[in-house]
Chains A and B, each alone.
Chain A
Amino acid sequence: MRFDYHTRYRQGFALLKHPADWVNYGVLLAALLVVPLVASNYFVGELSYVLILCVASLGLMTLSGFTGQISLGHASFVAIGAYGHAWLLAHGVPFILALPLAALISAGAGLVVGIPAIRVSGLYLAMVTLAFSIVVEQVIGMWRGVTGGFMGMLVETPSIAGISLGSPKVFYYLCLLVVVLVLLALANLLRSGIGRAFTGVRDSEAAAYALGIEVKRMKVGAFGLSAGITGLAGALMAHHIGYLTPDAFTLLLSLDLVLMVVIGGMGSLRGAILGAVLISMLPNGVALLKDVLPQSMARQSGLEIFVAGAVLAFFVLFEPTGLNGRWMKIRALLENFPLYRRDTFRRQKAYMKSERNR
């Protein structure tokens, strides 16, 4: 068991509160840094893809997990980031500038969707974002001059100051850097005033207004921020794919992103990462599963979607707080070992929810 003995307030809201955290995260980072030195190019490429999805998942988590707005159209922001980045590169913008610019373009698109979309919430917001993603997919298909239409568009090899980032291992380090920076920025933002205002807007709009929070501005801002981060993931994705076509950014990608944040655990950055890792490894897991299953089952089409759906159903039924919730429970169990009580994490039901004046 560990006890907190804080003598200054800043110890209470430090990112890494305990010396053990420094060790754990240090070891994790060191392991991630060492991987390319020992692993094959293929494995490192796959790992880069997981890291890219982590960024996209963090982007959606900002919106859905922290501000409580559901989006079924985040693949469109990935697409806007990817195409924006590729277009900028093709027009001679240096890579180091094109990356943040792509994120900004995507953030702009997010604001454009966000301004009308915040008038609705819940299921209706999901429909608005879904419609937006279909529109984006069509626009990308039709706008041949910029996107190359359905024929696709080649992404130039990234390079910084003449040094090529084309090799999978160098690209992996770039992805790792982006993940770490995005994670740090979000962790800082979410434990400050803006992050608290986000959760305020999510949990009670009436109270948020009463405390002077500009609810609409917060919602639109969260949309823009989320779209920007997701667009950044898209820019990296462009290099991972190498050749952009509209069918890389379909509804399936949006659903995968939603799966990541739900399975990871709403309202937690750690959950976004864990969810992205699990969901991006699912196809590989299914491939392994196919070897074990009888031929007649293994050759069925749609096995992957079935497994993804089953995993989601499993989590909704048995672990609504997601991987992050499970993580916290296991940690509590290990820390308080003989004294752990299941009820610690049992949620109380609140019945006083009527007459909300939103």
Chain B
Amino acid sequence: MTGAVLELDQVALHFGGLAAISDLSISVKAGEVLAVIGPNGAGKTSMLNLVTRVFDASKGRIAFKGQDISRLPRARIAHLGIARTFQNIELFDAATVLDNLLLGRHRFGGGVWWRQVLRTPALTRLEEAHRAKAEEVIEFLDLSPWRNARVAGLPYGVRKVVELGRALCSEPEILFLDEPASGLNPEETRDLAFWIDDIRSDLGITVVMIEHDMSLVNAVADRVVCMAQGRVLAQGSAAEVQSHPDVIAAYLGT
């Protein structure tokens, strides 16, 4: 298929006798915002964990830009340009917002170790370049009031944004958001909708978001996939999926 940046081809994930995902085929087109919806336990986050190599797929093929990534080491995924956020925020709590964002730059390298020990001028310039990129993200997400605050003391909504910022700092080609709007108030959710739109349009990053908030899905998603019991139940535009009888029965209700 042309234009598919990520393809899951008949992927399955079994935990012993439990099939979390069976026969799942999803393809993500470059430059789209794809929303994945579905009831709890449908395998949405498991699908994301398969792509980011937290779990090994029991069978099937996961291809990123044509390259099979289903057996790569877990730490290699970020280097390909795949970034993610977590459902329950996984920030580095004891570090400042700025350090969290700079950690997002890890895949671009921090210099040879002895240069780091000696703090050579070249390394200072490299650190400044990383910092400049982090500042771009801070400006994009309005994080400047929090720049030097420790994550442990931040309100929940801000932490969600910091996590998004950390993922953006790694300049990904595809960004996975695991329930980005959970726990946010309506105003924060509206901000998020604008940001997701800008991430796609201005930064050119493909976005896959797992989300329950249908208003956000309707606002930003180009395409919606509904999963249930480890399979794709329906896919298409937001309106098509929401009017699909199976989706209404399994997830949305009447």
Instruction: Determine whether the beta carbon of A192 is less than 8 Å from that of B91.
Output: no
Instruction: Determine whether the beta carbon of A193 is less than 8 Å from that of B89.
Output: no
Instruction: Determine whether the beta carbon of B107 is less than 8 Å from that of A196.
Output: no
Assembled-state Cα–Cα distance A355/B88 (Å): 8
Instruction: Determine whether the beta carbon of A192 is less than 8 Å from that of B127.
Output: yes
| 9-residue interface stretch from A23-31, A210-218, A285-293 | A210-218
| 9-residue interface stretch from A7-15, A110-118, A165-173, A309-317 | A7-15
Which of B107, B116, B123, B128 is in CB contact (< 8 Å) with A211? Answer: B107
Instruction: Determine whether the beta carbon of A350 is less than 8 Å from that of B113.
Output: no
Instruction: Determine whether the beta carbon of A211 is less than 8 Å from that of B86.
Output: no
Residues of A within 8 A of B113 (CB): 189, 194
Whether A192 touches B84, Cβ cut-off 8 Å, given contacts A200-B92, A211-B78, A211-B103, is no
Whether A10 touches B89, Cβ cut-off 8 Å, given contacts A189-B116, A189-B117, A192-B123, is no
Assembled-state Cα–Cα distance A318/B17 (Å): 50
Instruction: Determine whether the beta carbon of B128 is less than 8 Å from that of A10.
Output: yes
| 9-residue interface stretch from B5-13, B94-102, B207-215, B241-249 | B94-102
Within B76-133, the residues touching A (CB, 8 Å) are 76-79, 83-84, 86-95, 99, 102-104, 106-107, 109-111, 113, 116-119, 123-124, 127-128, 131-132
Assembled-state Cα–Cα distance A117/B228 (Å): 41
Most buried by B among A8, A347, A352: A352
Whether A212 touches B92, Cβ cut-off 8 Å, given contacts A185-B117, A355-B87, is no
Min C-beta distance of A325 to chain B, whole Å: 12
Instruction: Determine whether the beta carbon of B170 is less than 8 Å from that of A211.
Output: yes
Instruction: Determine whether the beta carbon of B152 is less than 8 Å from that of A213.
Output: no
Residues of A within 8 A of B116 (CB): 188-189, 192-195
Assembled-state Cα–Cα distance A185/B116 (Å): 8
Q: Say yes or no for B166: interface residue by CB 8 A criterion.
A: yes
Q: Say yes or no for A207: interface residue by CB 8 A criterion.
A: yes
Which of B94, B131, B166 is in CB contact (< 8 Å) with A203? Answer: B94
Assembled-state Cα–Cα distance A225/B92 (Å): 22
Which of A199, A210, A355 is in CB contact (< 8 Å) with B94? Answer: A199
Within A172-214, the residues touching B (CB, 8 Å) are 185, 188-189, 192-197, 199-200, 202-204, 206-207, 209-214
Assembled-state Cα–Cα distance A195/B106 (Å): 11
Q: Say yes or no for B153: interface residue by CB 8 A criterion.
A: yes
Assembled-state Cα–Cα distance A347/B154 (Å): 10
| Number of residues on chain B facing chain A (CB within 8 A) | 48
Q: Say yes or no for B49: interface residue by CB 8 A criterion.
A: yes
Instruction: Determine whether the beta carbon of A197 is less than 8 Å from that of B93.
Output: no
Instruction: Determine whether the beta carbon of A206 is less than 8 Å from that of B131.
Output: no
Instruction: Determine whether the beta carbon of A207 is less than 8 Å from that of B128.
Output: no
Which of A199, A200, A202, A207 is in CB contact (< 8 Å) with B86? Answer: A207
User: Per-residue 0/1 for A259-272: is the Cβ within 8 Å of any B Cβ (1 yes, 0 no)?
Assistant: 00000000100000
Residues of A within 8 A of B19 (CB): none
Q: Say yes or no for A296: interface residue by CB 8 A criterion.
A: no
- Nearest A residue to B78 via CB reads A212
Q: Say yes or no for A354: interface residue by CB 8 A criterion.
A: yes
Instruction: Determine whether the beta carbon of B153 is less than 8 Å from that of A192.
Output: no
Residues of B within 8 A of A204 (CB): 90-93
Assembled-state Cα–Cα distance A9/B130 (Å): 10
Whether A197 touches B90, Cβ cut-off 8 Å, given contacts A188-B118, A213-B75, A357-B49, is no
Q: Say yes or no for A301: interface residue by CB 8 A criterion.
A: no
Which of B88, B106, B170 is in CB contact (< 8 Å) with A352? Answer: B88
Instruction: Determine whether the beta carbon of B89 is less than 8 Å from that of A197.
Output: no
Q: Say yes or no for A348: interface residue by CB 8 A criterion.
A: yes
Instruction: Determine whether the beta carbon of A199 is less than 8 Å from that of B106.
Output: no
Q: Say yes or no for A2: interface residue by CB 8 A criterion.
A: no
Instruction: Determine whether the beta carbon of B117 is less than 8 Å from that of A188.
Output: yes
Min C-beta distance of B175 to chain A, whole Å: 11
Instruction: Determine whether the beta carbon of A194 is less than 8 Å from that of B110.
Output: yes
Please name 27 pairs of A and B residues whose Cβ atoms are closer than 8 Å in the assembled complex, sorted by A: A185-B117, A188-B118, A188-B119, A192-B119, A192-B123, A193-B106, A193-B109, A193-B111, A194-B113, A199-B92, A199-B103, A202-B94, A203-B94, A204-B90, A204-B91, A206-B90, A207-B86, A207-B90, A209-B53, A209-B77, A210-B78, A212-B75, A213-B106, A350-B93, A352-B88, A354-B88, A357-B54
8 further contact pairs, Cβ within 8 A, besides A212-B75, A352-B89: A10-B124, A189-B116, A194-B116, A197-B110, A199-B94, A203-B94, A204-B90, A210-B77
Q: Which residues of A contact B (CB under 8 A)?
A: 8-10, 12-13, 185, 188-189, 192-197, 199-200, 202-204, 206-207, 209-215, 267, 347-348, 350, 352-357
Q: Which residues of B contact A (CB under 8 A)?
A: 49, 52-54, 74-79, 83-84, 86-95, 99, 102-104, 106-107, 109-111, 113, 116-119, 123-124, 127-128, 131-132, 135, 152-153, 156, 166, 170
Across the A-B interface, give the 7 residue pairs with the lowest CB-CB distance, nearest first: A193-B110, A212-B78, A192-B116, A203-B92, A207-B90, A212-B107, A188-B119
